[in-house]
Amino acid sequence: MATSRRHFIKQLIQICGLFGLKSAFAWADWPARLFNATPYPETLKSLFPETDFIDTDKIHLKLPRVAENGAIVPLTITSSLPDIQKISVLVEKNPKPLSAQFQLSPLVDPTLSLRLKMAKSSAVIVIAETRDGQLFRNQKTVKVTIGGCGG
């Protein structure tokens, strides 16, 4: 009996639903409390209660100095720091300062590429947390010429 791929996948999903199997996406967590609209200092204290940051140039940020459109500001993060387990990206003057947070496996190189949405000209802060609990920080200021978050 010839069955199309689409029909096979549809049946497979139905069978998985019967047995209560869930996809990996169903287990993803959205920490809404971290992405609330709070001022930058409060967001920083809720993310990192102990704010002993080590400023470093070992976190490399590739950002434009001037972004023509705040809705799509490209950011590439690379680091030569060992044992990074988490990277947080914050935009100081956004209504919701925490833009992204990544949990990293020890088996991957800490290299990330993303696009930020920036409300206005602001500092972009990247904080890397190592497995031993140290917090490293680097930041760069971006001037936005057209507002991205509704402005």
pLDDT in tens, 127-136: 999 999 899 9
Q: Tell me whether residue 95 is in a domain.
A: yes
Nearest to 112 by CA among 140, 144, 89, 96: 89
DSSP annotation of 58 reads S
Question: How many domains does the structure of the chain reveal?
Answer: 1
The predicted-structure confidence for 93-124, as pLDDT tens digits, reads as follows 999 999 999 998 888 888 999 999 998 999 99
Q: Tell me whether residue 41 is in a domain.
A: yes
Long-range contacts of 46-51, Cβ-Cβ distance < 8 Å, separation of 24 or more? 47/88, 47/98, 47/127, 48/127, 48/135, 50/135, 51/135
**CATH assignment of the domain containing 134:** 2.60.40.2470
Q: Which domain holds residue 39?
A: 29-144
Q: Tell me whether residue 17 is in a domain.
A: no
Q: Tell me whether residue 70 is in a domain.
A: yes
Q: Tell me whether residue 22 is in a domain.
A: no
Q: pTM for this one?
A: 0.75
Nearest to 84 by CA among 109, 114, 47: 109
| Neighbour-count burial for 14-30, b at 16+ CB within 10 Å, e otherwise | eeeeeeeeeeeeeeeee
Q: Tell me whether residue 1 is in a domain.
A: no
DSSP annotation of 24 reads G
According to the model, what pLDDT value does residue 151 have? 47
Assign 26 a pLDDT band (cuts: 50, 70, 90). very low
**Is 121 exposed, middle or buried (CB count within 10 Å of its CB: 0-12, 13-18, 19+)?**
middle
